[in-house]
Structure 1
Amino acid sequence: MTGALLEAKGVVKAFGPTAALAGADLAIGAGEVVAVMGPSGSGKSTLLHCLAGIIAPDSGTVTYDGRDLGGMADVPRSALRRTEFGFVFQFGQLVPELTCVENVALPLRLDGRRRRKAEAQAREWLVRLEVEELADKRPGEVSGGQGQRVAIARALVSGPRVIFADEPTGALDSFTGERVMDLMTQAVRDTGAAVVLVTHEARVAAYADREVVVRDGRTREVALA
């Protein structure tokens, strides 16, 4: 893809003797939603972690907006993940000691935003994700689907250019999962963020603009019907 916002080329990653990625390629344009599919152990989550700069590939390159993530020092790479990347994981990973609004505001607070302004912005996102009534509750007091909406609000609150969603509906029933996907895809399309959506479910991948399959550590584009 010419002018890709985020791109992996020939990415190789092994954990001990086990090769997770064996020359994976993936290019994602600004505002594009791409589903990364594959069986368990295929390397799809490892690819996401390399694309997000969480782990470094053994060889190959990952570039974001023309910058080589592998060549960046830890501090600027961490800042990039905090300000330009957002993350949604299977179990939300909300901080249990914080209220929902404090969880959503956390990326802004870590970036130096004053509490009142950060939480005001967080509440706006809770409204958009239809969970404003949960603002003062803690994660242990909400359902799984509600918690995922809070996690999506947290991922979007800082205005990231890329959202990394790793099995975002994997712990939810079908009805709740579809509602979460409806809200997430609408929100990201409103903001223009790109999405890397890791899933093994075809019904979740159907929300994407295109699909890529990871098998045996390599990537293959899925032809549209």
Structure 2
Amino acid sequence: MSTQDTTLTGSLLSAHELRKSFGPTPALDGASFSIRPGEVVAIMGPSGSGKSTLLHCLAGIVPPDSGTITYSGRHLTALSDAERSALRRNDFGFVFQFGQLVPELSCVENVALPLRLAGIKRKDAHRAAQKWLERLEVSDVGHKRPGEVSGGQGQRVAVARALVGSPRVVFADEPTGALDSYNGERVMQLLTDAARESQAAVVLVTHEARVAAYSDREIVVRDGQVRDAAVAV
């Protein structure tokens, strides 16, 4: 079944005929996508194919030039900037290639940050953050700052931060790109296990087959268009 048909029963997040250009260069050219609650979908494709642009559009970070994005029955393209920001803060979690932790904060403070921004008291937010650090097997680095931990530890802290607020969708853009094979495999195992347990959907951008192997479904972005990896070209 092609992902061009995204009106699937039970979809949590879907997009239809997205188009996005940067100057004269088209990044998305009629891309369509759909993901169900609790599903892990890997978006694959060569460099410059449009896969990161697709993720940024789905997350409401970059507006498409045309097309529709629907999340839980709401049209993202019709929301205000403030409403999209609230959605990213309350419903979405993010893991980036280089973690993007706040260097001035300790690791436990980084993980607690989404809860603090949501108005949770410091003591309660830190307690929840420490539990996630334990779950991601980095409880011993909570007092350290990001510059004092290894790349693998820092990325686990970033995963804990993405999941601490119980998001419904986690967007992971090349989450293992800066890690060695062992740490990359461990981060993916912990991320997907924790997300599935909490029924969070995961939109995973990667160009590595070993990382995509942790997903339930793979799609390929090529020349700004999307297709199921299982469908013959």
One fold, TM greater than 0.5? Answer: yes
Q: Deviations over 1:84-124 (max 9, x none)?
A: 00000000000000000000000011111111111110001
RMSD: 1.0
Q: CA deviation at 1:74?
A: 1.1
Q: How do 1:39-188 residues align onto structure 2 when only pairs under 5 Å count? A: 39-188=46-195
Percent identity over paired residues: 71
Partner of 1:218: 225
CA distance in 2, matches of 1:135, 1:83: 23
CA distance in 1, matches of 2:108, 2:154: 11
Q: CA deviation at 1:33?
A: 0.2
- TM-score (norm. length: structure 1): 0.99
CA distance in 2, matches of 1:92, 1:216: 28
Q: Deviations over 1:15-64 (max 9, x none)?
A: 01010000000000000000000000000000000000001100001110
Q: CA deviation at 1:3?
A: 2.2
Partner of 2:212: 205
Q: Deviations over 1:106-148 (max 9, x none)?
A: 0011111111111110001000000000000000000000000
Q: CA deviation at 1:223?
A: 1.2
CA distance in 1, matches of 2:45, 2:168: 25
CA distance in 1, matches of 2:33, 2:152: 30
Partner of 1:22: 29
Q: How many residues align?
A: 225
CA distance in 2, matches of 1:85, 1:210: 20
CA distance in 2, matches of 1:182, 1:118: 25
Q: Secondary structure at the match of 2:196?
A: helix
Q: Secondary structure at the match of 2:182?
A: helix
Q: 2:202 is aligned with what amino acid?
A: V
Q: Secondary structure at the match of 1:22?
A: strand
CA distance in 1, matches of 2:157, 2:173: 15
Could you list the structure 1 runs, at least 4 aligned residues long, displaced by more than 4 angstroms after superposition.
none
Q: 1:179 is aligned with what amino acid?
A: R
Partner of 2:3: none
